Amino acid sequence: MDKPNPVVRLFEKAESRIGYSVLFRETRHFGYSATGRGIAIPLQPSLKELEDRLFEILNLPAGSRVLDLGCGAGRVAAHAVERGFEVEGIDLVDHHLDKARKYIQKRKMQDRIRVRKGDFQDLREFRDSSLDGAYSMGTVVHAPNPQQVFNEVFRVLRPGGRLAMSEYNTADKSKLSDYVEAFARRRRWYLPAGKMDEGQKRQNSEQLLKMWYRFNAVAAMPACDAWEPGVMETQLKQAGFEDVTIRDYTKNVKPTLRLVFALAYLPYLVISLLGLKDHFPHVVGAVYAYWGQELWTYVAVSARKPDLG
């Protein structure tokens, strides 16, 4: 019997369904803050701001036919339609697609958005050079083989077509020892941790790295650890893309991170005490992402398929 897909398993959990519905109103991504200060309250304007920035770097005219790589419940796709695009959406999770179809019907956008079950590592449903653009919002990070995703997206884009993504990346792990004091301080809720000797730094570095691998596992984000500095750009170029530009939004998503950590911390303490961390991956992931925030970056990426000739 085949094992369930880890991404499907993650988003099928009641924790996921409730959290994304109540807090994020069925979006599944960070918000953007120009200053990076404070906590993202209210949350919704910052979510829309990140989407607007994604569409700006997609840089396609109204009427363009674009692919939503992991469309979720269809909220970003609906925003894309408001920006004038025609959207093809794919997702692996059945209840995401059910919600997307209901929302699309409610918004009377059936003639502008089509969603289907699909894996963005295999876009056989789409002909070569049949789309003007593609975008992702924190979804390709869930791919076991992101190079295959980029290869497939390149294939289905027309010459001159564009790709835009907002995704996690891994920071430079060779600087791990520089992060451990901040990590230890956050784990102690900002109580003074004191100056660490080399032995304590080494021990905390091991704990931080272990937590990082655990974070990627519980969040079903295998591509994140693979995307060390420079790797994503290399993969995009290997697929054939040019004009690859990577923008660092890490500071700008911190207000959302602070919000989800504040909401997750008390539940995390309770489920840790009860030995239930494996059953609440989003709570665990929120806390780990906050504690180890120097280990990851959040980037906005644009790339273009070369024109013919």
Tens of pLDDT along 54-71? 999 999 999 999 999 999
Side-chain-side CA neighbours of 87 within 13 Å: the count stands at 30
Rg (CA), the chain: 20
Task: Taking residues 104-131, report their average pLDDT.
Answer: 98
Is 164 domain-assigned? yes
Is 205 domain-assigned? yes
pLDDT of residue 128: 98
Q: Provide the percentage of residues in the chain whose pLDDT is more than 90.
A: 83
Side-chain-side CA neighbours of 62 within 13 Å: the count stands at 5
- 9, two tokens: 């398993």
Is 228 domain-assigned? yes
Is 1 domain-assigned? no
Is 136 domain-assigned? yes
pLDDT of residue 7: 95
- The three-state secondary structure class of 214 is helix
Per the structure, how many domains does the chain have?
A: 1
Sheet of strand 131-137: strand arrangement? 113-117, 86-91, 65-69, 131-137, 157-170, 296-304, 242-248
Is 225 domain-assigned? yes
- pTM exceeding 0.85: yes
Q: Provide the percentage of residues in the chain whose pLDDT is more than 70.
A: 96
pLDDT of 90 strictly over 90 = yes
CATH number of the domain residue 133 falls in: 3.40.50.150
Is 290 domain-assigned? yes
From the list 309, 298, 199, the residue with the least C-alpha distance to 249 is 298
Domain limits at 87?
Answer: 6-305
pLDDT digits (tens, 9 = 90+) for 189-227: 644 455 666 777 777 788 888 888 999 998 999 999 899
